[in-house]
Structure 1
Amino acid sequence: MTKEVLLMIALRWLNFQKPYLLKNKLFIFLILFQTSLSSQNSTNATQATANPIIDGNVLDDSAWNNANVITNFTQKSPDEGEPSSEKTIVKLIYSSKFLYVSVVCYDSNPDGIVISDSRRDAPLNNTDSFMFVLDTFKDQQNGYVFGTNAAGIEYDAQVIGGDGMSMNSSRQSVGVGANLNINWDASWEVKTIIGDFGWSAEFAIPFKTLRFSSQENQNWGINFQRNIAQKNEQSFWAPIPRQFSLNRLSLAGNVTGINIPSSRNIKIMPYALGLSNNANEEDVKSDETKNDFGFDAKIGITSSLNLDVTYNTDFAQVEADEQQINLDRFSLFFPEKRSFFLENAGLFSSGENTFYGPDIEMFFSRRIGIANDGSLVPILGGGRLTGEMGGFKIGALSMQTKEVKNIANAENYGVYRIRKELPNRTNFGALITSKNDLNSSANNKAYALDGAYGIGETIQLKGFLATSDLPADSDNNSDSYAYMLEANRNTQALTTQLRYSEVGKNFNPEMGYVRRLGYRKILFRILNRTRPKDFYGILELRPHITYWSYWDFDGFQQSGYLHIDNHWEFRNGYRIDTAVNFIWEGVKSPFEIVNGVTVPNNSYANSELHTRFNSNLTKPISLIVVSKIGGFFSGNRRNTDTTFRFRLGERFTSEIISKYNDVSLPEGKFYTHLLRSRFTYAFNPQMYIQSLLQYNNQSDQWSMNWRFIWQQSAATGLYIVYNQTQDYDGIPTDLNIRSLVFKYSYLFDID
C-alpha cells in the first residue's frame, strides 16, 4: 500500500470524526502512519570501485563518492517524530570481503561533543555515538549491532528475539537471556575523526564475521541510530517509536544490492599463560607457579553455520565477580562473564526472567568449570556448533571438565537446541541439557519447550514448559516440572504484562539455575508513557504498577510485592522516581539473615518509601541515589545505594558504589555495607588499565582485581591480571590470597 493511498484513507476517516475527537485521533494516526511506513525505508549498497582507507576521514575519501546517500533521520527523543536537529549522512559500499559503512555526523557545536569512555564495548547511551543493526537473514528476530563513539571505540552485540523493548533511553540489556548480548565480540575495524563539521567514522565489517543465507543477491534488514549527548537526542533512519529501541528489527529498513560469494573462514587463537599463586590461610602457606597453553578455534562450515572448538580452556583475563549482599533466604545469581559461554548465549537461553534476574535458566553456563564452593575446575576442552540449517536455528555444545580431588568429579556437559523462527516475532523451540559424572552413574537430564507468538506489532504471547530428572534423594516420582505463560502488549502509550508460572518441588535441572522451588506465581505490570509539552522541563512521565506474588501448593504466600511508581524524566537528563512498595513475606522455617540474627517463622506485611534521583549521566560528574525506608520482616530497614561517576576527558573513568542497609529487628540490629570502586584509564580504544576494588562487611573481606589489557583483536592480545583477597577485622589480617597472571593470545585468520 502506497503512502498516498494510506493518506487518502486516513483523511476520509478523519472527515467523519466529531471535532472534539479530531485532535487526539489525528495524533494517533500520525504515529501509526509513521510506524507503518518505517519498514519502507530502503537503500542499495554500491559495489566499491576502490576500497576506502579506514581512517575516519570520510569527506576526503573518493571511494565514497558514488555511494547512495542515506539521511533524513527522525527523532525518538526528545521530540518524537521530528527531524533530527543535526544532519547525518550515511553511505554503504562493499567489496568481495568487506561491508563498508561511513557516517558524517554534522554538529553545529563540535566543542560540545561528549566522549564518556574509550574502552571496547563501553556503553554508547551517554556519549555522542553512531550505531547500526544488520538483520542478515531478514527474519526480524536475530541481528548484529555495530557502533562507535567520537573516540573510535569498537562496540558490537548480538540481537536475540528482535523485541527491541525499551523502558527508557538509559537502559541497555546485557548478558544471558537478554534481548541484546553485548558480550559477542567480532573482528572488524572502525576509525573516527573530529573536525569543525562535527565527527565522522568509517567501518570495515568482514563478511566472514557475519552469518547470512547463501542466496546470490542479499536482502538484509538495516537501521541506523545517532545519539547527540549534549541535547539528549536519539534519532533513527527508519523511525522507532518511544517504546522500542534500535533492536526492534521488524521496524528496520532494507538494504539490497549486496552480491557476494559464500566463503568459509578459520580462526585459530592459541594462548600461552604464566601464573603465580600465593595463599596465606589459617597458618597454612602455599605458593604455586604454573605455565600453560591452549587454543580456541572458529571454523566457518558454511556462511550460516559455525563451529567453535576450545582446548584447555582458560578465563584468567575475566574480571572478578561483583560481590553481593543477601538479605533473604534465596540463592544469589551471579552472571556469566566468560567470553566462550557468552557468545551465542541467547540461542541456548530458555526459562523465565524477572525484573531482578532469572527465576529459571535451563542452561546456566557457570555450572561448567566452577564448583559449588566457588573453586575453579579445569576445563579440558569442548566444542559448540551454532547457526542455521534447513530453516532451523540449531545449537549444540559439549564441554569436558577435569577431576579435582575432594572438590569435583570429572564431568561432561551437553546442551542441544533447535528453534524455528517465523515472521512477526514468532518462534518455537526445544532444548535438552545433559550432565554426566564420569566417576559414577550420577547423571541428570532436563528438557524444555518454549515459544512466542506475535500478534500485530504490539502483542506477543510466550510460553515455557520444562521437566527434569528427579533429585537423587527424592522419594517422590512427580513434581519435576516448570512452566510459564505470558502475554505482553506494548504500545506507544501503554505497556502491559501478565504472567503465570509454576515450579514443582522436585524440579532439578542440574545444569541450570532455579531461584526457588515449589511455588505458583502471578505477575502483572502496567506502565504508561506520557510526554507533556512545555511542562516544567519534563520529557516523559512513566507512572506504573508492578505486582507479583509467590504461593506454595498449600496456598501459603511465600512472597509478594506491589510497586506503585512514577518516573519523572527531564529534558536536561535528570530523573526522579517516587514510589511506594508493599511487601509480604511468609517464613515457614526460621532462617539466619546474618550471623547471630534469626528471622522467626511468621507472615510479615510491610510498606516502604522508594525514591531515586540521578543527574545527567552524560556529564563528567554524575550521581545516582536510590533510597528505601520502611518495614522489613519483623522490624525496619533504611537502605541507600549511591553511585558516583567521574570522568576526566575521554581516557579516565571512575565509578564508586556504596550499598548500605541499616536493619533493626526485635531479634537483633545489624548493618551491611558493600563498597565497590572501578577505575579505568584508556591509552587508546585497544589498550587500557582497569581496577575493581571491593569491600563487604558481611564477610569482613576486601578484594582487588587489577587488569592491563592490550587487545590486538576482539578476543586476543596481552592480559596482565593481579588478584588479591584479604580478610579484614577492623585492620587487615595476615589471611590473604594473591595471584598474578600473564596471558598472551594471538589471532591467526585463515581465509
Structure 2
Amino acid sequence: MKKLVYLFVSLHFSLSVFSQEKANNISVKLIADGAITIDGKLDEDAWKSADSGNQFWQFFPSDSTRSINPTEFRLLYDEHTIYIGIRAEVKSDNYVVSSLRRDFGGAANDNVTLMFDTFNDGTTAFLFGMTPYGVQREVFVSGGGSDFNTSWDQKWQLQSTKFDDHYILEAAIPFSSIKFHEGATSWRVQCYRWDMQTNEQSAWSRVPQNQLLSSLAFMGNMQFEKPLGKSRKPIAIIPYVNALTSRNFATDSNDSKLSFGGDAKLSIGNSMNLDITVNPDFSNVEVDENFTNLTRFEVFIPEKRQFFIDNNDLFGGYGDAYGSANPFFSRRIGLASDAMGNLIENRILGGVRLSGKLNDNWRLGFLNLQTAADTKNEIASNNNMMFALQRKMFSRSSLGFFAVNRQTFGDYKFMDPANEYNRVFGIEYNLASADNSLTGKFYLHKSLQPNDTKGNYSWQTTITWQPRKFNYILDFQYVDEDFRADLGFVQRTGVLKNGNGFSYNFYPKSGKVSRHSPGAMALYYWRPDMDWKKSDHVYNLYYSINFTNQSTLRADYRNNYVYLTHGFDPTRTPNGVPLPGKEGYTYNNFSLSYNSNPGKVLSFTSNLSGGQFFNGESYSAATVLTYRIQPWVSLSLNTRYDAIRLPSPHSDANLWLVSPKVDVTFSKNVFWSTLVQYSNQRDNLGINSKLQWRFAPLSDLYLVYNDNYFTKDFGPKFRSINLKLTYWLNL
C-alpha cells in the first residue's frame, strides 16, 4: 500500500512540474474612487486606457480554434471595489435569457462569467456571471472547479446595455464581498462565455474539451498596479420574522406561531468568516424535489441552507469521492427520527461557524450547533461539532485532518446509552495535478461510540487519469460494518468496493458530432463478514455522443448481480411479500438517454430503460419538458413512470412521479413559482407556491403556501402558509 501511494504521489509531482501552455496576463489599473459609474456604457476614460483580455479560445464544439464571436473584458480597481467591463459581439439581438431570476443556470442563457482564484491555489474561486439582461449570479466554486454552490450570495452591482450586434456589461464587486490576502499583488482569473446563438462556449484561457470549462487548472493572471489593502468587510446582521399558520389533518390539529431570529456575519482579517446563527428558520428554502427510489439505500439530497454555504467544501468535502460515505453531511443537523422512526424537524437553537484561510497554505473550518430537546417525540438535545484543518500540497493538492462529534446533552429515559455520542476522526490527501489530468483521493477515517472496542474504519484509494483522449478510473474503498457517522452520509457498511472504468474520446474535425466516447466500467462489492463473498457487481458498457448543437445522446448496457442478505421489496408495497434474502440475483438491463439543446425555447430530456430486474422485469420512461416565454415565464413538466413486474407471490408496481412547475419573473426583484409534485410511491400530492419580493439587496419578503394530500384515499394531509421577512443590514 505504501509503495502504491508513493508511486501516485511521485507521478503527480512529476506531472505538476511540466509547464502548461503559457498563461495569459492582464494588468489591473488603480483608479480614483468614484471614477466609474455603473450604467452599462463603459464611456469613462479609465475604461479606454484599461488593459483588455480578448482572443478567446473555443471550448465547444471544438477546442482548437478561436471563438466565432469576439469577447473582450477589462478590469479596474479602487480602494474598495473591483470593476468589470465586458463587450460581447453577437449575430443578432435575439438573445437567449431564460428568466430574470438571480442565480440563473449557465447552460440555458447567453452569459459571460468571471472566476477569481484570489488565493492562487487552483482549488476554490469566486464566480460572478452576467446575462445581456443584467441578471446576476454568484457561485462559490470548490473541488478545483467541479463543485458549484449557487446558494452563496453577495452584494454587487451590474448594469447591461443591448445592441443589435453586441452587448455591454458593467459590474462593480466590492472587495468586502470576497476573501483575499491583504497585500496581494495578483490573482488568477478566468473569463468564459456561453454564446447560445452560435452554440459556442469559449474561454480567455484555453481549456481542453475533456476537462470542465470551469476547471481552475486553466486560468490566467491578473496583476494589480499596487498591493491590495484590507477588505474592510462590514459586519452583516440578517434578522428575520416569520409568521406561520398550519393545519395537520392527520392529527386534526392547528398551529400558529410567530418566530424570529437571525444570522450575523463577521470578518476576521481578510480571509476568515465567522457566521453566527440564533434560532434559525429555513422555511423559505426551496422544497426538495421528489424522486422514485428503487434501491435498498438512502439517496443523497444536497444542502441549500445559506448558513452552511461559505467554504462548504471544508466541511462537506471529506470522504468518498463519489458521495456514498461522507463523515459530515450538514443536512443531518436540524432533522431527527421520532419514536416511530419518522424523520421530523428538530429545532436548531443556535450555533457558530468559522471558516477560511489562515495563510497561503492553511485553511481552517470549525462548526458548532446546538439542537433542542423534543421529549414528546423522544429526541434528545445534541451538540453537533466539526473541526477541519487543510494544508495545500504542491500546486493544487491538499492534506486534510478533521474531527466530527455529536454529543447528547442531558439525561433522558428514552435514550439508548450506545447513542450518547458518536465521533469520527480522519486524514485525507486530495490529489490534483497542475493540468488536472491526474486526480485522486486517499483517506482513512475512524468512528468511536460508547462501549466500542472494534476497528470501525473507513478508507478509500481512488485515482482518475484523464489526458485528452481517454479517461481511466481506479477505485478501492472499505467501510467497516460497525463504522458510524451520525452526522454523515453512509449508504452502506460492511463492504469492500473495487472498480475500474475506461473511456476513449474521439474528436471529429467536422460534422454534427463534437465528441463521441465508448466506455466500460466494472464495479464489485465484497462482504468481509461472509468470508469475502461477492455481494454485488455491475458491468457497464456505454457509448456517449456530444453533438455540435449542444444536445447529447448516451446508450448503456448493464449486467447486474445482487446478493440479498435480507428480504427486500423494491415496490415497497404495504404488507407485500419481499424477495427472499440469502439469495443471489443476476439480471441485465439497458438505458437510452437524450438531452436536447437547453438554449432552445422548447427543450427536453428523456430516458428510457428496461430489462430484467431481480427475478422479474422493470421498465422506466422519464422526461423533463421545458418551455420558455423568455425572459418572463418558464413552464416545465417532469414525469417518470416505473413498471415493476415480479413473479407471484411478489407484488407488481406502477409508480408515477409527475411534477409540473411554473416560474414567473415579473422583474429582477419580484418572482413567483409554483411546484406540484405527485408521487404514488410516497402517497403524496404536494403543492408549493412561493411569491418573493427582493425589496433591497439580499433582503426579501416571502409568502409561501404549502399543501399536501394523500393520493390513495384522496384527502388533505398537511397545509401551511407563512409570511417571512429577512433583511440584510451592513454595519
Match of 2:651 in 1: 668
Change (3 A) 1:529 1:183: farther
Identity of aligned residues (%): 26
Q: Counterpart amino acid of 1:550? A: Y
Q: Distance in 2 between matches of 1:726 and 1:522?
A: 44
Pick from 406, 410, 416 the counterpart of residue 376 of structure 2: 406
Q: Distance in 2 between matches of 1:72 and 1:131?
A: 16
Structural mapping, 1:150-189, within 5 Å: 150-162=132-144, 164=145, 179-189=147-157
Question: Is it true that 1:206 corresponds to 2:174 in the alignment?
Answer: yes
Question: Is it true that 1:52 corresponds to 2:61 in the alignment?
Answer: no
Match of 1:167 in 2: none
Pick from 230, 243, 247 the counterpart of residue 197 of structure 2: 230
Q: Distance in 2 between matches of 1:267 and 1:628?
A: 50
Q: Distance in 1 between matches of 2:160 and 2:551?
A: 29
Match of 2:398 in 1: 427
Pick from 462, 466, 475 the counterpart of residue 441 of structure 2: 462
Q: Distance in 2 between matches of 1:566 and 1:269?
A: 49
Match of 1:443 in 2: 421
Match of 1:566 in 2: 543
Q: Secondary structure at the match of 1:247?
A: coil
Stretches of structure 1 lacking an aligned partner (at least 5 in a row): 1-31, 165-172, 174-178
Displacement, 1:714?
A: 6.1
Aligned residues: 690
Q: Distance in 2 between matches of 1:713 and 1:515?
A: 42
Match of 1:578 in 2: 555
Pick from 202, 212, 227 the counterpart of residue 259 of structure 1: 227
Q: Is the 8 A contact 2:91 2:197 kept in 1?
A: no
Could you say what the CA RMSD is over the residues aligned between the two structures, in angstroms? 1.9
Q: Distance in 2 between matches of 1:183 and 1:491?
A: 32
Question: Is it true that 1:366 corresponds to 2:331 in the alignment?
Answer: yes
Q: Deviation per CA, 1:147-197, whole angstroms, max 9, x where unpaired?
A: 1122222211122231x4xxxxxxxx5xxxxx2222222221222221123
Q: Distance in 1 between matches of 2:691 and 2:244?
A: 15
Match of 1:528 in 2: 504
Change (3 A) 1:546 1:77: same
Q: Secondary structure at the match of 2:108?
A: coil
Q: Distance in 1 between matches of 2:687 and 2:295?
A: 27
Q: Deviation per CA, 1:304-349, whole angstroms, max 9, x where unpaired?
A: 1111111111101011121222222222222222121233211112
Match of 2:65 in 1: 82
* TM-score normalised to structure 2 length: 0.91
* TM-score normalised to structure 1 length: 0.89
Q: Counterpart amino acid of 1:451? A: Y
Stretches of structure 2 lacking an aligned partner (at least 5 in a row): 1-14, 412-416
Q: Is the 8 A contact 1:223 1:246 kept in 2?
A: no
Pick from 230, 248, 255 the counterpart of residue 279 of structure 1: 248
Match of 1:115 in 2: 97
Q: Secondary structure at the match of 1:340?
A: helix
Q: Secondary structure at the match of 2:176?
A: helix
Q: Is the 8 A contact 1:350 1:448 kept in 2?
A: no
Q: Counterpart amino acid of 2:204? A: W
Q: Distance in 1 between matches of 2:586 and 2:611?
A: 11
Displacement, 1:229?
A: 0.7
Change (3 A) 1:350 1:261: closer
Q: Deviation per CA, 1:237-261, whole angstroms, max 9, x where unpaired?
A: 1111112234322321000115332
Match of 1:643 in 2: 624
Match of 2:688 in 1: 705
Q: Distance in 1 between matches of 2:721 and 2:495?
A: 45
Displacement, 1:38?
A: 4.2
Q: Secondary structure at the match of 2:135?
A: coil
Displacement, 1:742?
A: 0.8
Q: Distance in 1 between matches of 2:234 and 2:541?
A: 53
Match of 2:114 in 1: 132
Change (3 A) 1:36 1:677: farther
Change (3 A) 1:710 1:468: same
Q: Distance in 2 between matches of 1:316 and 1:743?
A: 8
Q: Distance in 2 between matches of 1:374 and 1:99?
A: 46
Q: Distance in 2 between matches of 1:37 and 1:479?
A: 44
Q: Secondary structure at the match of 2:454?
A: coil
Q: Deviation per CA, 1:56-93, whole angstroms, max 9, x where unpaired?
A: 223x3444222112211110111212111011111101
Structural mapping, 1:582-593, within 5 Å: 582-593=559-570
Change (3 A) 1:609 1:400: same
Q: Secondary structure at the match of 2:197?
A: helix
Q: Deviation per CA, 1:590-626, whole angstroms, max 9, x where unpaired?
A: 1232211411122111111210122221101112111
Q: Distance in 1 between matches of 2:696 and 2:319?
A: 35
Pick from 293, 297, 300 the counterpart of residue 260 of structure 2: 293
Q: Distance in 2 between matches of 1:69 and 1:524?
A: 45
Match of 1:168 in 2: none
Match of 1:724 in 2: 707
Q: Deviation per CA, 1:402-421, whole angstroms, max 9, x where unpaired?
A: 11223221111111000001
Change (3 A) 1:188 1:38: farther
Change (3 A) 1:509 1:118: same
Q: Deviation per CA, 1:517-568, whole angstroms, max 9, x where unpaired?
A: 1000012222222111234x11110222222221111222222212211112
Q: Distance in 2 between matches of 1:201 and 1:587?
A: 58
Pick from 491, 500, 509 the counterpart of residue 467 of structure 2: 491
Q: Is the 8 A contact 1:187 1:713 kept in 2?
A: no
Q: Deviation per CA, 1:213-243, whole angstroms, max 9, x where unpaired?
A: 122x421000100111122111111111112
Pick from 308, 312, 319 the counterpart of residue 286 of structure 2: 319
Q: Distance in 2 between matches of 1:690 and 1:344?
A: 29
Displacement, 1:423?
A: 3.1
Pick from 608, 613, 629 the counterpart of residue 627 of structure 1: 608
Structural mapping, 1:390-401, within 5 Å: 390=359, 391-401=361-371
Change (3 A) 1:396 1:562: same
Q: Distance in 2 between matches of 1:533 and 1:304?
A: 46
Q: Distance in 2 between matches of 1:463 and 1:439?
A: 38
Q: Distance in 2 between matches of 1:728 and 1:555?
A: 44
Change (3 A) 1:599 1:395: same
Q: Secondary structure at the match of 2:308?
A: helix
Displacement, 1:684?
A: 2.2
Q: Secondary structure at the match of 2:217?
A: helix
Stretch moving more, 644-653 or 706-715: 706-715
Match of 2:85 in 1: 102
Match of 1:546 in 2: 521
Q: Deviation per CA, 1:374-431, whole angstroms, max 9, x where unpaired?
A: 3111111111111112431001011011112232211111110000012322110111
Q: Deviation per CA, 1:471-506, whole angstroms, max 9, x where unpaired?
A: x6x8x6214110000111111111211110000010
Q: Distance in 1 between matches of 2:21 and 2:332?
A: 43
Question: Is it true that 1:388 corresponds to 2:357 in the alignment?
Answer: yes
Q: Distance in 2 between matches of 1:396 and 1:714?
A: 28
Question: Is it true that 1:376 corresponds to 2:345 in the alignment?
Answer: yes
Q: Is the 8 A contact 2:515 2:547 kept in 1?
A: yes
Q: Distance in 2 between matches of 1:612 and 1:467?
A: 40
Match of 1:20 in 2: none
Question: Is it true that 1:337 corresponds to 2:308 in the alignment?
Answer: no
Match of 2:270 in 1: 303
Stretch moving more, 39-48 or 68-77: 39-48
Stretch moving more, 398-407 or 97-106: 398-407
Structural mapping, 1:608-627, within 5 Å: 608-627=589-608
